[in-house]
Structure 1
């Protein structure tokens, strides 16, 4: 399958040359930030890992440490994120979300609702490898109730495959009975059905649910649930409909209103740059009055902005 990313591997790639260019950009007085951001956004993550190895071989120094020493602020954060292998990046984000002060539910929701089954399995294995801890146990110890239950189900990465024609109607009925039809909500039904069915199956269930109740699934979740569980159920439903649309919305709300949620902006721009950023941009244009490019222009500044704009890959207004 062709990548729908804005960042592609460089065709005539030479890791040693790139390592030298970066070394030169940081050597002596002042740093040539432009060289750094132009170079790193025009290489794939796999190529950046080769540059990092070449840098160590040529100079006996750690490229990421040198970059951290030369750069600062949000620009440093986005560059270090670009230098991190994707699974390691997700694992580090999850670890910080659980082990920091309080739990960053937003990170747990975003990663576990949007990643493919194999990525989740790789994340669980890498987490054990990197921290000698069990991700499931760490998440279970840090969350509670139905929110915890659904996170644990998503961590199993064992959704049913394909569409189960025989259970589309009964799933829609069960969701209706669990929410709109009863006084109070049977959250467990939402958790079980939305956590275990395939995206294709769920899209059929949402259509059946709409016919049955006159409501979009999202509307019922908004009304029937609250807090972290509501956020997670909504993310699961939106990702079942369209992962790029889910991320377009996530980016929009990271920049809309007073103050920018730079952590979310960086996380999504970096982690989707080689996956589906072209589709995210298209969905963004369809859903909102501005293009992603123009919102980044208006909401960020300096080298940080220039890096994000390169990850965005040009304007499509």
Structure 2
């Protein structure tokens, strides 16, 4: 499928020129935030990495450190996020979710359920290089029970390929027998089947499950499981159905109600801007009575809002 990102490489790109623009924007009294956000949202991530290198060569200073010292708050977090390579952005997000007291399960679920097997392998490798630690050990040290088992399976990045025609019916039956049909739930079946089958296979299983039980698989998971296990299984199911729809829902939930979950909003807008943000926008419009653009406009402010709207790159009103 064609790339469906909102952020595209700039043609006629000149890293030295951009490095100078950014240097001037931060030199002297006051910072030209508008120049910074306009430039960085109009360059691909690969181009931002070249700007970072040019900045260091020309000025002997680290661009990200300079940005951090000039900007503040959520705007700073967003801009610094855009400056990280995609894999480093995920790796840092996972590390922050695990370190310290308590685990941010939401981050583990969102990243591990939605990334492709290749992306997961890249994350594991980079995590090891960066922290000299094993991501799986860190995740298992911080989680427990069936929730931990799902994450470990996702970290193997070893889903079956394609559709196993002969197993569609038996997988649906196994899920039905493990949940709706019995008193209590056999979580193992849910964990194994949802964790190991390909997205296209799972979509066929969900249809068969619906015919068999009269329920959508999501309804059964809601009823049969709870807590972090429920959240991760639902994320896996939603990503099997449609990754953009899953992210559209995450974005909506990050902004609905009082207060905005800025960490989630930033994470998704940064990590999907060059992959499928156009698809996410379309799904958002389909699922909710408003557009992503409109919701960002209503729920954020200042340079932070301007940057998010440039990443969103259009309204589907």
TM class by shorter-chain length? over 0.9
Following TM superposition, the consecutive aligned residue runs of length 4 or more in structure 1 with deviations greater than 2 angstroms are none
Deviation at 1:136, TM superposition (A): 0.4
Cα drift, residue 316 of structure 1: 1.4
Structure 1 residue 101: deviation in Å?
2.3
Give 1:48's aligned residue.
48
Distance in 1 between the 2:316 and 2:271 partners? Answer: 20
Task: Provide the C-alpha distance between the structure 1 equivalents of 2:3 and 2:73, rounded to a whole number of angstroms.
Answer: 30
Q: What is the aligned partner in structure 1 of residue 133 from structure 2?
A: 133
Q: 1:70-103 CA deviation, whole Å, 9 max, x = no partner?
A: 0000000000000000000100000111113210
Partners in 1 of 2:249 and 2:139 — Cα distance? 25
Q: Deviations over 1:246-295 (max 9, x none)?
A: 00000000000010000000000000000000000000000000000000
Q: Counterpart in 2 of 1:117?
A: 117
Mapped to 2, the partners of 1:98 and 1:278 lie a distance apart of 31
CA distance in 1: counterparts of 2:43 and 2:140, whole angstroms: 38
CA offsets, 1:127-148, max 9 Å, x none? 0000000000110110000000
Give the Cα separation in 1 of the matches to 2:186 and 2:30: 60
Partner of 2:242: 242
Structure 1, gaps ≥5 residues long: none
Whole-Å separation in 1 of the counterparts to 2:144 and 2:101: 16
- Answering whether residue 251 of structure 2 is matched by residue 251 of structure 1, we say yes
Aligned to 1:90: 90
Q: How does 1:215-294 map to 2 (within 5 A)?
A: 215-294=215-294
Q: What is the correspondence of 1:146-185 to structure 2 with a 5 Å cutoff?
A: 146-185=146-185
Cα deviation, residue 47, structure 1: 0.3
CA distance in 1: counterparts of 2:12 and 2:311, whole angstroms: 20
The answer for unaligned runs of 5 or more in structure 2 is none
Deviation at 1:112, TM superposition (A): 0.2
Secondary structure at the residue paired with 1:122?
helix
CA–CA distance in structure 2, aligned partners of residues 2 and 251 of structure 1: 23
User: How far apart are the structure 2 equivalents of 1:307 and 1:2?
Assistant: 25
Give the Cα–Cα distance (whole angstroms) in 1 for the partners of residues 157 and 283 of structure 2: 26
List per-residue Cα deviations over 1:288-307 (Å, max 9, x = no partner): 00000000000000000000
Deviations along 1:24-83, whole A, 9 cap, x unmatched? Answer: 000011000000000000000000000000000000000000000000000000000000
Aligned to 1:300: 300
Q: 2:201 maps to which residue?
A: 201
Shift of 1:2: 2.5
Report the Cα offset of residue 314 of structure 1.
Answer: 1.2
Q: 1:169, 1:314 → 2: CA distance?
A: 43
Q: TM-score, normalised by structure 2?
A: 1.00
2:66 match: 66
What do residues 3-31 of structure 1 show as CA deviations (whole Å, max 9, x unaligned)?
Answer: 10000000110000000000000001100
